[in-house]
Amino acid sequence: MVFHAFQRHWIATSLCHSSSECRSFGSLGQQEGFVALTARRSRLHPGTRYLARGLNSCYSTGNEVECEQLVWVPRRSGQTVPFNTYIWRRGTIPMWWGAELKLTSAEAEIYVSNRDPYKGSLQYYQRLSNRYDTRNLIGAKKKNSTVPIVCVNLLRSGEGKSESILVQHFVESLNYIRSTRKLQNSRIYLINYDWHANIKYKGEQQTIEGLWRHLKEPTVTVGISDGDYLPSRQRFKDCRGEIISTDDVEGAFCLRSHQNGVIRFNCADSLDRTNAASFFGSLQVFMEQCRRLGISLDSDLAYGYQSSVNDNYGAYTAPLPPGWEKRSDAVTGKIYYIDHNTRSTTWVHPCPDKPWKRFDMTFEEFKRSTILSPVNQLADLFLLAGDIHATLYTGSKAMHSQILSIFNEEAGKFKQFSAAQNVKITLQRRYKNHVVDSSRQKQLEMFLGMRLFKHIPSVALHPLQVQSRPFACFLKPVASMFPSSHGGASLLSFKRKDLIWVCPQAADIVELFIYLGEPCHVCQLLLTVSHGADDSTFPSTVDVRTGPNLDRLKLVLEGATIPQCSHGTNLLIPLPGPISGQDMAVTGAGARLNCQDTSSISLLYDFEELEGQLDFLTRVVAVTFYPATSGRSSMTLGEMEVLGVSLHWRGIFTNEGHGARLYDIAKKSQKETNPFSSVGSDINPFAEASYDNASQLNSSANSPLVDLLTGEITRVDAIQQPVRENINYSGGVDLLDFLDGADIQPSHSHGDFTSPSSQDGKSYLDNGAKQYISCFRSLIGQNSERRLDFAEAMKLEVERLRLNLSAAERDRALLSIGTDPATINPNALIDQSYMGRLCKVANSLALLGQAALEDKTTAAIGLENTDSSKSIDFWNISKIGESFCGSSTCEVHAEIVGATPAPSTSSLFLCCQCQRKACKVCCAGGGALLLSSYDSSGCQSQLDVTTNQSVTMDRVICKTCCHDIVLHALMLDHIRVLISSRRSSRADNAAQKALDQVIGFSKNDRSLPWDPQQAIMVRKHLLNGEESLAEFPFASFLHSVETAPDSAPYLSLLAPLNSEPRHSYWKAPSSASCVEFCIVLGSLSDVSGVLLVISPCGYSTADAPSVQIWASNKINKEERSCVGKWDIKSLISSDSSFHGPENLGRDSKVPRHVKFAFRNPIRCRIIWIMLRLQRPGSASVNLEKDFNLLSLDENPFSQEVKRRASIGGQIETEPCLHAKRILVVGTSVKKEMDIESTQGSDTIKVKAWLERLPQLYRFKIPVEAERLCNNDLVLEQYLPPVSPLLAGFRLDAPSAIKPRVTHSPSLGVDIWDTSITFLEDRYISPAVLHIQVSILQESDNMVTVAEYRLPEAKPGTQMYFDFPQKMQTRRISFKLLGDIAAFADGPAESDNIGFGSSPVATGLSLSNRIKLYYYADPYELGKWASLSAV
């Protein structure tokens, strides 16, 4: 039990490699104790032998293993178990060094870093000191003693030995650490003991004896830990020491004394010598552990008498007390003792055994006086642990292990085979070090979760959720040739991957309305290609519309091409958010794809990025499929899935977990005028944009208000019927007419596509644009015709992002002053070759920056404070107007504008290369230190993002010592970081906006009057044993609901009871006399009734509405069935319990509500509820004459509401409809509906139709020659004069991936965190590829004939694209367009690509990927021609 409890405590702490094993031991064959050896390998520096040596950037050494030796005495169940434990460490030398492996059999050459070889050594010993410092713990013996750290160095120190250089530096490193005086509470001792030299010249036995002499004093000083295992926590009161307990262990550990300090063994690799030496050191401790537990391992006591050899062992035999005498029996020779004080005799020595007595023995003395069976058991544990950790580090077993069997009677047999075994292991290690070490290094890092951005770059940390799985459904049944099918439900079932859904004959379009199981932001649509023998039956194009309900569907994808593929192929279609037509017009996004000139590729970043709207309340996805040829044949469909990201609604409603974080940010957003100013500049770069005139906003009732959640400017009375259509532009209206005005009106990038109409709104939005124009004019100076160079354009883009302007807003600002935005596009201001090298450097910087942050996070483990404050950040990009040297004491003057700089008191820094003083402006960012290995041409041989890199991030390098391409890479990386931060901020704002649309957070405070326990009781009484079937987020409204401006959002009607303040409620506009709610339930359910929770104001008898309810499984009103009609006025009049005021205090069980019970439960998915005022437009009832049956006189919130006939109305003469909650009660259908298999003649007909072969097949068209250009993104094929008519082409899916990491991390951002929504950048602005096809006409002009949007598919998937019509040409060109820069090669391809290769991912190359084809009848071509089928 003790061992299992220790195992769980060790392994549960962190993910690591470890070994743990135990053995029982005893004397004369009887069990007396257990010994266990646990060895845990450090995860701070994982790796193989020649890739993980010495220190790394996490202040940890290679092959660092912490070992623990546990000994305990078994007891009966329920009894306290005594134990003691001893901990030591083993590892390589803690300094920066390595070994260069040679191809020959020669020994590896050891080298020590020539730059700061001892950097991190201090932190390593600080971590040891913090871990093994037990002076202040309960049970510690010495409160004021130091923490001893004993280093036993087993390296070869002889002259000419390769390891001697490490011995010298080891001594120097300890002297350096002592000189810092930062380890005041620790003492480091070094014991140099050349293990191999002692074995060679003195033999094994004397080597062991010498080691014991060196270890005696340190081991006694460090000591061991003693304690008891308490099987029950009721015995805690019996503990006289420190109690250690965990939740997963029933009992607890009581430590009476603690080990203080640690002994650390090391050799070059922490392998064979270390394991052997630590065994003999632990053997002495094992003897002391047994002595303290009362287990005697003395061989003389095992036979009932003391051996005569005790006379020769005066060194360790305790002296006799005064008056005692030792004599021997004349006959037997047995020793006995005489006590002259009492005149008595005894056979037992009057004094107990001396502690640690065997340290003073010779090897032979130890062997003769000790029972060797337990020693051999301990040796087996060390042999096993040594082989395990040697295999992890080198791929082979441990060498020179025969010395561990020296106490075994068959030790001679081990020596006979040890030499041959060592040679075998040496060859095995050399092979694996050369061949498989790199792959094993990746495996170790992936196992520990390190460098995942490099090893699996395309895998998301937070995968998308499949929201189309149960309990999603189709709002309309999908027509099919199967008459008994369940309306297409099988199309959303992951259990029917082989499904082939056959639509009716000659269907022009097939429209599917998918109701998602939970609201989310839709990111992707996954289609499974399903067809029979003819692959042309699958749809050729698709449109996608998304929205929170049917009334607010917006087009997000139009005319996307679906290629013809083999049956079962999965095609992934990225879905952007709805994009404003104005933004597309001003940025020219629609014209870029059709542009003939594609020589210039935006490899740096997307200069004209379109920002689609993000909506986390998307509930309905409308997918429209179109056939390849209308009316020719039936369409076939396969399984489809909708993937997206949903918010943590459960935590949001309960204000717990991740949802509570969203509330915290929303609270801050309410307090800030600018939603971006509440976030620190290190995390959110937009905080640097300070708006001076933000305080000029008028907060009066007639002026527009700034929506603190979205950043939009709206009026209080602007909430009307929701927009139900996309923006339409009347004919003849130029989308660029807004440029004719003098004012600049940037559009909203993350709201509805409306422009504010007030002047105050203009001044707020124009402020950023005006500052941007001011920065632009400061760069061009007086000469308006001057063009910006590359560096200036990049700085201008940094300022644009700091001012929080979108690309469309920037273009509007530039066009308003007559400047073409294309003239400042950094992608067009440098040549392609330099752009390619710059992208390579920036991509390397991104990976190195991520690795540096990961190492910084990991290095903080076990240390109190490792963060050194720096005044120069990672990029050090100055603002425009401040980017010049202003210090006269600066010796660099890298940024000089105009006259001699004036004196300044700014801080100066010392360049680590030229040793000159530089001001902050003249210093490069800290990221330049990561790129210090680049040569003058800006090249680097190989990117190294392992933890075994020595990068001094606390240094400074000036700009003159830094290559231009490195400075440009820092600027480019900074722009990418700002773009990413803007995307994350947009996602966070969208999440807060969704929260506001559900519970009206911006209109209410977060105080929850409902006590959690009280809310549970209220819910229990309301439901009365039934289930709530219409509770958000699982249920929602199918249509928008008219809502008054000062009302709670209509979605709050379905929110949990405790999700908002009790005085908040929904109400309709006063002009609305009838409101209809269409509720889609969370699942197919048996509904028994509807509960209407009345709002706090209540209804009067004159204005009580009538209620009518329908039920159905389809969205068509014609197919719904009426359940009943109720008059609330008559219900109130007939039930006396509704009379009188309602009390909603703490003692109230349920709020006032009305239940509309059905006669029989109805199985349905959709419920319609209509509330209608009986007398529309009638005057209010006089309170003095009419009795308000639902008044809340004792409600604490009623004092804040003025009493009137209908409190929901704007004025006393305006009654309105209002409610608090709507609850649909019943029982959900737990079991999914089984998809029945249709049988009979229809099945036979459909099967025969699917197996019908097509009349025409595809055949390859021969090509005379082909040419690749533009980084292999353009393929030109030359055809023979007499070639068949071109029908289409086959494209093999590219192998490039979309990496998760494209830039270095923002300062202060957690490496595992993206945003509060877990929505990654590549899903906010998805990268899409297009392929453009052009042919040569008779006029020798290339004309574009087709353009296809490429879906994502498995690499190598064969996709067939048919041309709009058959054509004849001698030359055809294919161009790959779109977001080329967003794709990269996988890890396998990246390792084989040199720095001088193409800047574009090789996986996007069109080489050997395209084949032209034509259609023909195989019987007409003949047998040989049929061999060219594609």
Contacts 24+ apart (CB under 8 A), 407-416: 407/367, 407/372, 407/375, 407/376, 407/379, 408/372, 408/376, 408/379
Q: What pLDDT score does 671 carry?
A: 54
Name the least confident of 442-446, 1007-1011, 1353-1357. 1007-1011
Please tell me which of 74-88, 248-262, 513-527, 624-638 the model is most confident about, judged by mean pLDDT: 513-527
Q: How much of the chain, in percent, has pLDDT values that exceed 90?
A: 36
Q: What pLDDT score does 937 carry?
A: 46
**Burial class (CB within 10 angstroms; exposed 0-12, middle 13-18, buried 19+) of 1336:** middle
Please say if the pLDDT value at position 221 is more than 60.
yes
How many residues are present in the chain? 1430
Torsion of CA 1347, 1349, 1354, 1357, to 10 degrees: -30
Q: List Cα–Cα distances, 1094 to 484, 1007, 1027, 1140, 1223, in angstroms.
A: 43, 21, 20, 14, 11
Q: List Cα–Cα distances, 1216 to 1073, 1101, 1173, in angstroms.
A: 7, 13, 8
Please tell me which of 375-384, 924-933, 1006-1015 the model is most confident about, judged by mean pLDDT: 375-384
- List pLDDT tens digits, range 388-410: 988 888 888 888 778 888 988 77
Please say if the pLDDT value at position 16 is more than 70.
no
- List pLDDT tens digits, range 60-72: 999 999 999 999 9
Please say if the pLDDT value at position 233 is more than 50.
yes
Joined together, the tokens standing for residue 920 give: 């902050």
H-helix or E-strand containing 855? Answer: helix 832-859
Residue 1005 CA, chain-centre distance (Å), reads: 32
Of 725, 707, 729, 724, give the one whose Cα is nearest residue 716. Answer: 707
Q: What pLDDT score does 1392 carry?
A: 60
Name the least confident of 757-766, 778-787, 876-885, 1317-1326. 757-766
Q: For the chain, how big is the Rg over CA atoms in Å?
A: 40
Instruction: List b or e across 584-612, with b for residues whose CB sees 16 or more CB atoms inside 10 angstroms.
Output: bbbbebeeeeeeeebeebbbbbbbbbbbb
- List pLDDT tens digits, range 925-953: 889 988 877 654 445 544 556 655 555 66
Residue 791 CA, chain-centre distance (Å), reads: 33
Q: What are phi and psi of 151, to 5 degrees?
A: -105, 115
Of 1300, 1325, 1268, give the one whose Cα is nearest residue 1383. Answer: 1300
- List pLDDT tens digits, range 405-439: 898 877 666 565 677 777 888 888 888 888 888 88
Amino acid in the structure at residue 136: N
- The more confidently predicted of residues 1313 and 125 is 125
**Burial class (CB within 10 angstroms; exposed 0-12, middle 13-18, buried 19+) of 330:** exposed
Q: 3-class DSSP state for residue 540?
A: coil
Cα dihedral across residues 730, 734, 737, 738: positive or negative: positive
Please say if the pLDDT value at position 737 is more than 50.
no
- The more confidently predicted of residues 100 and 261 is 261
Q: 3-class DSSP state for residue 1158?
A: strand
- List pLDDT tens digits, range 77-96: 878 888 999 999 999 999 99
User: Per-residue confidence at 1094, pLDDT binned at 50, 70, 90?
Assistant: confident
Contact 19, 389 (CB under 8 A): yes
Of 436, 437, 440, 442, give the one whose Cα is nearest residue 454. Answer: 442
CA distance 395 to 46: 14
- The more confidently predicted of residues 413 and 56 is 56
Please say if the pLDDT value at position 1193 is more than 70.
no
Please say if the pLDDT value at position 283 is more than 60.
yes
Residue 560, phi-psi category: left (phi > 0), alpha (psi -120 to 50), beta (remainder):
beta
Q: What pLDDT score does 896 carry?
A: 65
Q: What pLDDT score does 1163 carry?
A: 93
> How many Å from the N-terminal Cα to the C-terminal Cα in the chain?
67
Q: What pLDDT score does 857 carry?
A: 85
- The more confidently predicted of residues 1075 and 1236 is 1075
Q: What pLDDT score does 1060 carry?
A: 67
Residue 231 CA, chain-centre distance (Å), reads: 40
Please say if the pLDDT value at position 1029 is more than 70.
yes
Q: 3-class DSSP state for residue 150?
A: strand
User: Per-residue confidence at 701, pLDDT binned at 50, 70, 90?
Assistant: very low
Q: How much is the average pLDDT of 1126-1135?
A: 75
Q: What pLDDT score does 50 carry?
A: 86
Average pLDDT, the chain: 79
Q: What pLDDT score does 1175 carry?
A: 57
Q: What pLDDT score does 1061 carry?
A: 67
Amino acid in the structure at residue 1225: V
Q: What pLDDT score does 1158 carry?
A: 92
Please say if the pLDDT value at position 1080 is more than 70.
yes
Q: What pLDDT score does 718 carry?
A: 33
Q: What pLDDT score does 700 carry?
A: 35
Please say if the pLDDT value at position 694 is more than 50.
no
Of 1080, 1046, 1340, give the one whose Cα is nearest residue 1207. Answer: 1046
User: Per-residue confidence at 300, pLDDT binned at 50, 70, 90?
Assistant: low
Name the least confident of 248-252, 1075-1079, 1153-1157. 248-252
Q: 3-class DSSP state for residue 412?
A: helix
Q: What are phi and psi of 327, to 5 degrees?
A: -135, 165
Of 217, 211, 377, give the one whose Cα is nearest residue 297. Answer: 377
Q: How much is the average pLDDT of 179-197?
A: 93
Tell me the CB-side half-sphere exposure of residue 906, using CA atoms within 13 A: 21
User: Per-residue confidence at 1349, pLDDT binned at 50, 70, 90?
Assistant: very high
H-helix or E-strand containing 291? Answer: helix 272-292
CA distance 47 to 69: 25
Instruction: List b or e across 1187-1204, with b for residues whose CB sees 16 or more CB atoms inside 10 angstroms.
Output: ebbbbbeebeebeeeeeb
Q: How many CB atoms lie within 10 A of CB 125?
A: 23
Inter-axis angle of helices 437-447 and 411-435, nearest 10: 90
Instruction: Name 941's Cβ contacts closer than 8 Å, sequence gap at least 6.
Output: 1395
- List pLDDT tens digits, range 965-977: 999 999 999 999 9
Q: What pLDDT score does 720 carry?
A: 34
Q: What pLDDT score does 806 carry?
A: 93
Please say if the pLDDT value at position 1346 is more than 90.
yes
Q: List Cα–Cα distances, 934 to 839, 841, 894, in angstroms.
A: 14, 9, 20
Q: 3-class DSSP state for residue 1339?
A: coil
pTM of the model: 0.84
Q: What pLDDT score does 1313 carry?
A: 53
User: Per-residue confidence at 55, pLDDT binned at 50, 70, 90?
Assistant: very high
Cα dihedral across residues 573, 575, 576, 578: positive or negative: positive
Of 1336, 1414, 1408, give the one whose Cα is nearest residue 1373. Answer: 1336
Q: What pLDDT score does 754 carry?
A: 37
Q: How much is the average pLDDT of 106-110?
A: 79
Strands (E), 1140-1214: 1153-1172
Tell me the CB-side half-sphere exposure of residue 337, using CA atoms within 13 A: 17
Looking at residue 1429, the DSSP 8-state letter turns out to be: B
- The more confidently predicted of residues 1354 and 1178 is 1354
Please say if the pLDDT value at position 445 is more than 80.
yes
CA distance 171 to 187: 14
3-state secondary structure 327-342: EECCCCCCEEEEECCC
